[in-house]
Structure 1
Amino acid sequence: MDMSITGLRVFREAAERGTLTAAAEALGYTQSAVSRQIAALEHAAGATLLERRRDGVRLTAAGHVVLRRAVTVLTELDAVVRELRGQPDEGGTVRLGWFASAGAVLVPRALAALRRTHPAITVVGREGSTPALVRALRAGTLDLAVLAAAPPFRPFDTTSPPLRTSTLAERNLCVAVPPGHPLATAPSVSVEDLRGRQWVASPAAGEMGVWPGLDERPFVTHTARDWLAKLNLVAAGAGLTTVPAALATVVPPGVTVRQVDGEPRRLVLAWLAEPLTEPAARLGDALRTAAVD
């Protein structure tokens, strides 16, 4: 079996990105070059590693085995390169991922607290969707990820070994309402109260905007991916938008955040490698404290 290091790196990138096109863009390769590397790796392994689908690629059972081993090999090779170059060991670096709204309040608060108590720890982070962050944990390019979970709180994936998870907080979702809106002073807000409203929505399905599960075709006045843009559109009276409770402290003047009666959502910390390194464990503690605060 002859598996090239380049092939393993390309395979890991494809597994994390979810499409060959995205992997090619991240690596600066052509898509055909990525396809050739994956094909050569599959030939060496004697098994199909990626299932090609219309919406991207998914790991096969054999692919999961190769990815798990590839992550170990590539991590060790990167450590060898750093040592030969006389670069410091990255034991004090933690790679963190988070979904969009967690980056507005929770993550900055946790990083500020960690900087005060453990200034030698370096955190390298990035935002992503929950599926992308789960893939990154599996690919070994993230150490920790802050994820959002909705009832009935199923596992984030069915791959073995299962991801390790810890609930940081459990809160109801909220809506941000414009100045002077009737819901701003209502005794309580139910899902029924949200029917027939105008909405500031996210352009992609699965991202917050229109209330999830609303049993009608929503009237969307504007779409925006950026949280600041959505909240300022709400402040301008353009409509309502769904927000997590944590954003209540950063909304523009005049905007009111109201909790909606219903099932709570969970803020979850997830990781794969066990045990966590000390820097990763320290960051996890800071995230738990920030979530409670």
Structure 2
Amino acid sequence: MALDSASLTALRVFREVVDRGTLTAAAAALGYTQSAVSRQITGLERAAGTALLERHRTGVRPTAAGRLVARRAAAVVDQLDAGTRELDGLPDEHAVVRLGWFATAGAVLVPRALQALARTSPGIVVVTREGYTSALVRALRSGTIDLAVLAQVPPYRPPDAESPPIATTVLTQGALRVAVPADDPLAHLAVVDVDDLRGRAWIGGPEGSGAMGVWPGLDDRPRVAHVARDWLAKLALVAGGQGITTVPAGLVGTLPAGVVALPVRGGPVEDRRVVLGRAPGADGPAVDRVAAALQETATTP
């Protein structure tokens, strides 16, 4: 295998494809055409002298050689990015930890943990990336990130079925709530019955986008008025009277003016977990310290 002729662009593209699971998703994330992504992968496989991806009807996954290249690509790209930050005048770095997180975790948990870490361990540089939980699990498995804050729903199965298992630690757990405009008739109730949610306009998210969207326990076909990935956009639409949406327990204290979050009774209990996943083989004091900061932040009121 000879990768000395591989370009940095090809390595970046390959890492994105491995993390996202499809060439289409990688192209959208990078702002490339799918054909451009395909050409980069073909060139990288030619340089490697072997297939790096297995093509399937639903997407791609790395071969054994591909997993090795993904880990090496992540290391190369991260080191070059670290060098760029150094040249830009940032302080010398003693350790880099790569952290992924799903969208709503970036609203409270991750920023607070990084703020605390900057005070206690200023020598650790945390490089973060947002993604859907499914993409983050693939990134953990491929070794392109060290830690990931993941969303889980009952029955709380392991992140994937591969071996060795991805180690997980529960950060928070709580019941899902529904967010309504402050002037909505439901806003004055202590608890909303699930029957009261029938026929309402919902602010949903794209498929696979995580916890905020339509209430999962509805027994009728929901009417989705708007689709948005960003949690802040969803809540702004709620505040503007455009519909209602779900809110994980961890976001209740961060709601904007004009939005009220209420518990829901009736139907199955809709609990949600936020867990910290660690890539197999990701160890060392820096990774341990970042993990500890996230756990400490999650348990601090």
| Of 249, 255, 261, the match for 1:257 | 261
Paired residues for 1:7-22 under 5 Å: 9=11, 11-22=14-25
- The residue that corresponds to 1:66 in the other structure is 65
What residue number does 1:267 align with? 274
By how many angstroms is 1:183 displaced? Answer: 2.7
Structure 1 window deviating more from structure 2 (4-13 vs 234-243): it is 4-13
| Distance of 2:42 and 2:284 partners within structure 1 | 36
Identity value in percent? 49
- SS of the aligned residue for 2:105 comes to helix
For the residues of structure 2 that align with 1:116 and 1:210, how far apart are their CA atoms?
39
Which shows bigger deviation, 110-119 or 187-196? 187-196
Q: Is the 8 A contact 1:96 1:126 kept in 2?
A: yes
How do 1:132-147 residues align onto structure 2 when only pairs under 5 Å count?
Answer: 132-147=135-150
Is the 1:145–1:271 Cα contact (8 Å) retained in structure 2? yes
Q: TM-score, normalised by structure 1?
A: 0.82
Contact 2:93 2:123 (8 Å CA) reproduced: no
Change (3 A) 1:27 1:273: farther
Amino acid paired to 1:36: T
Distance 2:111 2:205 in 1: 23
Paired residues of 2:178 and 2:246 also in contact (CA < 8 A): yes
Q: What residue ranges of structure 2 are gaps of 5+ in the alignment? A: none
Match of 2:101 in 1: 98
CA contact (8 A) 1:234 1:241 kept: yes
The 2-side partners of 1:33 and 1:231 are apart by: 40
Does the 8 A contact of 1:166 with 1:269 survive in 2?
yes
SS of the residue 1:199 aligns to:
strand
CA contact (8 A) 1:245 1:259 kept: no
State the Cα distance separating 1:206 from its structure 2 match. Answer: 4.3
For residue 166 of structure 1, report the CA deviation from its aligned partner. Answer: 0.6
- Report the aligned-residue RMSD: 3.3
Q: How far apart are 1:203 and its partner, in Å?
A: 3.8
Instruction: Name the SS of the counterpart of 2:258 in structure 1.
Output: coil
Q: Using the TM superposition, give the Cα deviation of residue 34 of structure 1 relative to its aligned residue in structure 2, in angstroms.
A: 2.9
Q: Deviations over 1:57-77 (max 9, x none)?
A: 134xxx1x3244335555676
Query: Quick one: distance in 1 between partners of 2:276 and 2:121?
Result: 20
Is the CA contact 2:145–2:279 (under 8 Å) kept in the aligned structure 1?
no
The runs of 5 or more residues in structure 1 that have no matched partner are none
Q: CA deviation at 1:148?
A: 0.3
* Equivalent residue, structure 1, for 2:240: 236
> Runs in 1 of length 4+ with deviation above 6 angstroms?
75-82, 84-89
Query: How many residues were matched structurally?
Result: 285
